[in-house]
């Protein structure tokens, strides 16, 4: 382990570089940190710089090794090591997963329905532990059992690049089939009596622009392209309809979608186009008895449910109208009823409805005023009991079965915390904070009941892509809460916590609302006496890392410690580079600065990297992944380099790059906890909180 006496913070070389767009020139002296051979990173100067940053991270964190070890022990102690999911029936088998004591990865099991619940009938169908052995990184992608239950297709990524290799196993003999498909980034869909497998390849720019059919036993070179997407901003995926009669092929970007249907029994048939794409119109489709059920935002931004005959798929008739009060997030069809999921006032709602009685609505009631709930794994078409998931900021994850006809909830499993957890010691609050433009922003908070007012507070935010941050349970955050922190989630605009309008109010030309909301929430929590300026730690990752970068530029004095994980901070340069994997598909979210001068100027005004300036910044821990295809490693590396150059303080600035991982950091349920332990140790150190 390096020590601080022998290692100094790296100073990246400055190499003059600039680009001009719309008559505006932007300098970028650290552009050289992008390896021109990416995704192969072999430039020795770049690798040396990243390794130097890692050495500096190790040196500065070395005195806190004991704290990290203790925190890791706490975090691990709250996870039940030998754990089993609740079995679920699918066809002739019950399926479940198990973690063995000390195992980083799962084992997938099944037994025949009706067989005794003992080891004699249990069949191990996939062993992630064995597959991951000897690998620094392992991630299971898709897993799909054939409809006859005899074959298993699965995909694996062993370097974090999110390019998965598909393999197939004969479950009756345990023998692998010779079929192997590299470079996949998709679900795996069985068709044509389990003789074919539908998938999508990631192209050279990590985009899924295709749907392909592989006949078992044939060479992959003879696989058939069923659909190709010509718009480089769209991504393509496929799935089976709930009744397994149709392959649903969807193409979409962040605001527009288009769906085609193929008979699962005849995947080479001519696809049925449900409705031609129209900018800003999103929809998804399922089918029952010749009638399509279409979840769409065409007449209301909070979505409606429409129907159409399969033979006239573009003739849409409203079944459930869109509503300002109810955000319709999804529809799940079953043989005898269907289920609506949505949010009302930011809280999850689940309703059972009936095909033959449109006015009959049966909401499922939950026991707390603030919670997160949703459908779990419900794989069969004919069901009368629904598997549900439930949690709150004080209630551990709970698995329910809901009897549709008796309208009763049965508790099947409550998350067990081996080291102990007493919910009565904690309280949760849901606040509404009025921000600078008069908008009320919800904030969910959990803390110990005996916490002293004005103590440290951790504020988390994301605010992008219409992804809601639900008020769920976390065993990890207890390591902060039990040390006197309040833990707050700011449900800022850019997510869809309060509906589609909430999302739209934080994207494109309204993007800065996201940053302003977060800052104003922090200021109001101070004003209410929950904490003090400089006593707030903050964290966010990816687009949430962009949020971190923006708020430390605008209001650095508010924050006592910052954790920015794989942060999307070089927004302008990335959105100007159409060769990067995600960029064309991201323009509906951020704007296209190549063609639109106004978008260029707006992104330039907030892009964290471009707005670093000579001022004091709070202590910061930044992470990156060398193989990350979503936020490329050079974004955080460049950002830290510029911060080192310009910041006027002596506060800690650490960059840790995972040299063998991608966007999600290290794999495995325990290895990932080490990074959380490092983050919390950094926060406690910088906030001066006893460990």
> Among all residues, which ones are annotated catalytic?
542, 628, 663
Task: Give every CB contact of residue 682 below 8 A, 6+ residues apart in sequence.
Answer: 61, 64, 561, 563, 619, 621, 652, 654
Using DSSP's 3-state secondary structure scheme, residue 587 falls into helix
CA angle (258, 260, 262) in 5-degree steps: 165
Burial 301-335 (b: 16+ CB within 10 A, else e): bbbbbbbbeeeebeebeebbebeeebbbbebbbbe
| Cα 545 to Cα 492: distance, rounded to the nearest angstrom | 14
Task: Give every CB contact of residue 98 below 8 A, 6+ residues apart in sequence.
Answer: 82, 83, 84, 85, 106, 107, 109
Q: Which helix (H) or strand (E) holds 550?
A: helix 543-554
Beta partners for 433? 441
Q: Which two tokens stand for residue 3?
A: 């020590």
Task: Give every CB contact of residue 489 below 8 A, 6+ residues apart in sequence.
Answer: 443, 444, 445, 460, 461, 469, 471
Among 570, 591, 589, CA closest to 465: 589
Does residue 357 have a cis peptide bond before it, meaning omega lies within 30 degrees of 0? no
Q: Which two tokens stand for residue 94?
A: 């019950």
Task: Give every CB contact of residue 679 below 8 A, 6+ residues apart in sequence.
Answer: 539, 563, 621
Which phi and psi (to 5°) does residue 191 adopt? -140, 170
Q: Please count the residues of the chain.
A: 691
| Cα 432 to Cα 525: distance, rounded to the nearest angstrom | 11
Yes or no: say if 185 and 208 are a contact pair by the CB < 8 Å rule.
Answer: yes
Strand 83-84 relative to strand 283-288: parallel, antiparallel, unpaired? unpaired
């Amino acid at each position: 382990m390096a020590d601080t006496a022998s290692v100094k913070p790296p100073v990246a070389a400055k190499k003059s570089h600039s680009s001009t767009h719309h008559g505006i020139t932007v300098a970028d002296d650290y552009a050289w940190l992008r390896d021109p051979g990416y995704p192969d990173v072999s430039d020795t100067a770049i690798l040396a710089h990243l390794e130097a940053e890692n050495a500096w991270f190790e040196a500065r964190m070395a005195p806190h090794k004991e704290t990290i070890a203790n925190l890791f022990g706490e975090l691990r102690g709250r996870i039940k090591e030998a754990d089993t999911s609740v079995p679920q029936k699918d066809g002739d088998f019950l399926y479940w997963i198990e973690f063995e004591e000390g195992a980083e990865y799962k084992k997938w099991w099944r037994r025949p329905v009706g067989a005794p619940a003992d080891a004699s009938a249990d069949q191990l169908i996939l062993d992630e532990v064995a597959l991951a052995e000897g690998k620094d990184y392992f991630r299971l992608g898709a897993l799909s059992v054939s409809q006859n239950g005899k074959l298993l297709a699965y995909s694996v990524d062993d370097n974090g690049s999110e390019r998965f290799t598909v393999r197939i196993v004969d479950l009756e003999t345990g023998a692998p089939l010779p079929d192997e498909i590299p470079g996949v980034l998709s679900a795996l869909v069985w068709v044509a009596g389990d003789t074919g497998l539908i998938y999508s390849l990631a192209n050279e720019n990590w985009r899924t622009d295709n749907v392909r059919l592989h006949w078992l036993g044939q060479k992959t070179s003879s696989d058939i392209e069923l659909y190709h997407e010509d718009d480089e901003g769209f991504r393509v995926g496929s799935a089976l309809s709930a009744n397994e009669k149709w392959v649903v092929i969807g193409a979409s970007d962040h605001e527009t979608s288009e769906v085609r249907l193929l008979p699962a029994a005849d995947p080479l048939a001519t696809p049925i186009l449900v409705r031609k794409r129209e900018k800003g119109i999103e929809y998804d489709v399922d089918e029952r008895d010749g009638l399509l059920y279409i979840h769409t935002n065409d007449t209301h931004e909070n979505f409606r449910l429409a129907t159409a005959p399969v033979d006239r798929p573009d003739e849409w008739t409203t079944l459930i109208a869109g509503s300002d009060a109810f955000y319709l997030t999804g529809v799940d069809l079953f043989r005898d009823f269907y289920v609506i999921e949505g949010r009302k006032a930011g809280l999850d709602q689940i309703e059972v409805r009936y095909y033959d009685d449109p006015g009959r609505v049966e909401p499922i009631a939950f026991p707390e005023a603030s919670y997160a709930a949703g459908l779990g794994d419900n794989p069969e078409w004919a069901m009368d009991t629904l598997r549900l998931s439930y949690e709150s900021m004080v209630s551990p994850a709970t698995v329910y079965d809901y009897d549709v006809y008796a309208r009763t909830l049965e508790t099947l499993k409550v998350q067990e915390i081996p080291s102990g957890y007493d919910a009565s010691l904690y309280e949760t609050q849901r606040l509404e904070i009025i921000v600078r433009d008069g908008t009320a922003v919800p904030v969910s908070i959990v803390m110990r009941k005996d916490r002293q007012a004005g103590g440290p507070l951790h504020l988390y935010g994301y605010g992008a892509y219409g992804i809601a941050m639900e008020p769920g349970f976390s065993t990890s955050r207890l390591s902060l809460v039990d040390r006197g922190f309040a833990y707050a989630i700011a449900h800022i605009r850019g997510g869809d916590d309060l509906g589609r309008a909430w999302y739209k109010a934080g994207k494109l030309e309204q993007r800065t609302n996201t940053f302003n909301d977060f800052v104003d929430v922090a200021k109001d929590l101070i004003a209410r006496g929950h904490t003090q300026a400089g006593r707030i730690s903050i964290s966010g990752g990816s687009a949430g890392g962009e949020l971190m970068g923006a708020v430390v530029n605008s209001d650095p004095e508010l924050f006592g410690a910052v954790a920015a994980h794989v942060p999307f901070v070089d927004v302008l340069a990335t959105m100007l580079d159409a060769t990067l994997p995600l960029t064309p598909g991201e323009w509906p979210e951020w704007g296209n600065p190549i063609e639109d001068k106004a978008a260029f100027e707006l992104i330039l005004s907030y892009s964290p990297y471009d707005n670093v300036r000579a001022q004091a910044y709070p202590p910061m821990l930044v992470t990156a992944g060398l193989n990350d295809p979503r936020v490329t490693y050079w974004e955080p590396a460049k950002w830290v380099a510029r911060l080192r150059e310009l910041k006027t303080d002596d506060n800690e600035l650490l960059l840790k790059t995972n040299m063998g991982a991608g966007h999600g950091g290290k794999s495995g349920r325990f290895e990932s906890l080490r990074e959380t332990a490092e983050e919390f140790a950094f926060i406690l150190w910088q906030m001066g909180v006893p460990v």
